[in-house]
Amino acid sequence: MLCPLHNHKYTEAVVILKGKLRVRTNEKIYELGPGDFFFTGPYEPPHAIENIGDSEAEFICVISYEDDMSLKPLE
């Protein structure tokens, strides 16, 4: 698991460059690979990220700067 179920105040955009990731929200599970992306707004949806490939995954994560950059684990 790269990151357990969590949320945060900042906006986040993630683009997968290499490997295979599973992104879980409260409602759905997505399997993403190179060229895929996901986006979350402040505090929603809670999400978890897991590497499900046979090798290391590489991705770019772009976030907005907020006064509170903490990650709030939910499990």
Cα(47)–Cα(4) distance, integer angstroms: 8
- The CATH architecture that domain 3-68 belongs to is Sandwich (2.60)
Query: Looking at residue 67, what is its pLDDT?
Result: 85
| Domain boundary assignment for the chain | 3-68
Instruction: With CA atoms as reference, report the closest residue to 9 among 74, 58, 73, 72.
Output: 72
Cα(59)–Cα(73) distance, integer angstroms: 21
Cα(9)–Cα(63) distance, integer angstroms: 10
List, in sequence order, every beta strand (DSSP E) within 1-75.
Answer: 3-8, 12-18, 21-25, 29-32, 37-40, 47-51, 58-63, 71-73
Can you give the pTM of this predicted structure?
0.81
Tens digits of per-residue pLDDT, 16-74? Answer: 999 999 999 888 999 999 999 999 988 888 899 999 999 999 999 999 988 888 877 88
